[in-house]
Amino acid sequence: MSIDKNAQLFERARQVIPGGVNSPVRAFNAVGGTPAFIARAQGAHLFDANDKQYVDYIGSWGPMILGHGHPQVLSAVQAALLEGFSFGAPTEREIALSEAILALMPSMDMVRLVSSGTEAGMSAIRLARGYTGRNKILKFNGCYHGHADALLVKAGSGLATFGASSSAGVPEHVVQDTIVLEYNDIEQLEEAFAKYEGQIACVIMEPIAGNMNFVRASTAFTRRISELTKEHGALLIYDEVMTGFRVALGSAQSLYAQQIPGFQPDITVLGKVIGGGMPMAAFGARREIMEKLSPLGPVYQAGTLSGNPIATACGLQTLALISQPGFHEALHAKTGQLMAGLKAEADAAGVPFSVDHQGGLFGFFLLPELPSHYEAVMKSDKPLFNKFFHGMLSRGHYFAPALYEAGFVSSAHTDADIQATIEAAREVFKTL
């Protein structure tokens, strides 16, 4: 009888790491079972401690848009490693990466590099408060912007009410200026701005909510947010940690700009893809906003490893490769092939199933129609999803271990990978 090395590692990990993992969703608490401990990866495939191979639809939660171990990215990182790991001083590559990001993002004149999406989101909110001189922030139920205290908030019981902290260790007074509304609800949005006239510093939102699986902000909702923030002197923060450079070369804001003439967020938060798999994130805005940051202005933000020379090398090469003509169109088509195939097999088996995708980002729901907000997402059949997840995992196809997380396709996924996933899904749907 073979030994399950994943189970051995999980037991060992639980003795020294809370829950056995360094980020909660990895523990498989939502789906049950033992997590796969990944030993290596190549292209579109993961290999666990038992050397079982999986087609990877997590992609390190987004950054592996080129797949794992792309030779040109590896070469850039290896060259950077020989020059030094970290200096705590400026480097030319920080400038080059900033220039590359700004060339693709017309809403930004300046950018500040940091090490994580949480750090970028937290800093963007501090900057918005410092720029406007206001305290209140508005976010949406089901959107995730990192684990900063002011953002760990669950919705209140009524329209435009303040929420309560959703984590122990976050005092209620810390979240008293955080307003939580329902995503895609224009009426609540208008009510909040009327109720807190002149007090709202910013609205922070995911343009495609990847922590509700995959829920798009409607064009009408996005347009109204843009109008209201301008009318009331608040800033619109676009959290594109997940969507940035993955759903389109110009990120999600470029897609909404095609539908809303002149649309631009005030501040953009980026992550994932700009690091290409290394710890890297950023936030950027118009010059007059960014010049409020230290050392030019009074808003303090700092980080010893910000603009790390290894991460900037990885990010620069990744951005160069995904900027090639037709890259995102091909990625969108590939992701659409997967979604269409899963949908067809679910329909054939009589399983309620709805799908959506953009670029290399996708989501599916065990629901007859796509949801538009958090409460609708939570109506998805959790036990059914867990059966689907484990059925696919056992057949070598690794989807997110929670029904409320988006999925990712890379340019390394082949037609054969996708077809194998669809064929496995056919078998699994018959068992649901």
Q: 308 is written with which tokens?
A: 């790390």
Q: Is 144 part of the annotated catalytic residue set? A: yes
pLDDT at 169: 79
* Catalytic-role residue among 56, 177, 239, 266: 239
Q: 150 is written with which tokens?
A: 């002011």
Alpha helices in 92-246 (DSSP H): 92-104, 117-132, 186-195, 219-232
The three-state secondary structure class of 308 is coil
- Taking the C-alpha atoms of residue 246 and residue 256, their distance in angstroms, rounded to an integer, is 15
- For 426, the enclosing helix (H) or strand (E) is helix 415-429
8: Cβ contacts below 8 Å, ≥ 6 apart:
49
With vertex at residue 173, the alpha carbon angle to CA 172 and CA 179, rounded to the nearest 5 degrees, is 80
Which of 351, 344, 278, 353 lies closest to 316 in space, CA to CA? 278
Please give the chain's pLDDT, 432 residues, in tens: 689 999 999 999 999 999 999 999 999 999 999 999 999 999 999 999 999 999 999 999 999 999 999 999 999 999 999 999 999 999 999 999 999 999 999 999 999 999 999 999 999 999 999 999 999 999 999 999 988 888 887 654 443 344 567 778 787 877 889 999 999 999 999 999 999 999 999 999 999 999 999 999 999 999 999 999 999 999 999 999 999 999 999 999 999 999 999 999 999 999 999 999 999 999 999 999 999 999 999 999 999 999 999 999 999 999 999 999 999 999 999 999 999 999 999 999 999 999 999 999 999 999 999 999 999 998 999 999 999 999 999 999 999 999 889 999 999 999 999 999 999 999 999 999
The position carrying tokens 């509700």 is 212
pLDDT at 148: 87
Classify domain 71-322 at the CATH topology level: Aspartate Aminotransferase; domain 2 (3.40.640)
Backbone phi and psi for residue 396, each to the nearest 5 degrees, phi listed first = 90, 30
Q: Is 139 part of the annotated catalytic residue set? A: no
pLDDT at 164: 66
What is the 8-class DSSP label of residue 248? S
pLDDT at 163: 56
- Whether residue 360 contacts residue 409, with contact meaning beta carbons closer than 8 Å, is answered with yes
- Whether residue 362 contacts residue 214, with contact meaning beta carbons closer than 8 Å, is answered with yes
* Catalytic-role residue among 144, 238, 374, 404: 144
Q: 344 is written with which tokens?
A: 């067809």
- Whether residue 385 contacts residue 365, with contact meaning beta carbons closer than 8 Å, is answered with no
* Catalytic-role residue among 48, 131, 139, 272: 272
Q: Is 292 part of the annotated catalytic residue set? A: no
What are the extents of the domains in the chain? 5-69+326-429, 71-322
Which of 429, 404, 378, 411 lies closest to 24 in space, CA to CA? 404
50-53: long-range contacts, CB 8 A cutoff, minimum separation 24: 50/2, 50/4, 50/5, 50/6, 52/396, 53/396
- Whether residue 144 contacts residue 211, with contact meaning beta carbons closer than 8 Å, is answered with yes
- The domain covering 5-69+326-429 belongs, at the CATH homologous superfamily level, to Aspartate Aminotransferase, domain 1 (3.90.1150.10)
Backbone phi and psi for residue 316, each to the nearest 5 degrees, phi listed first = -60, -45
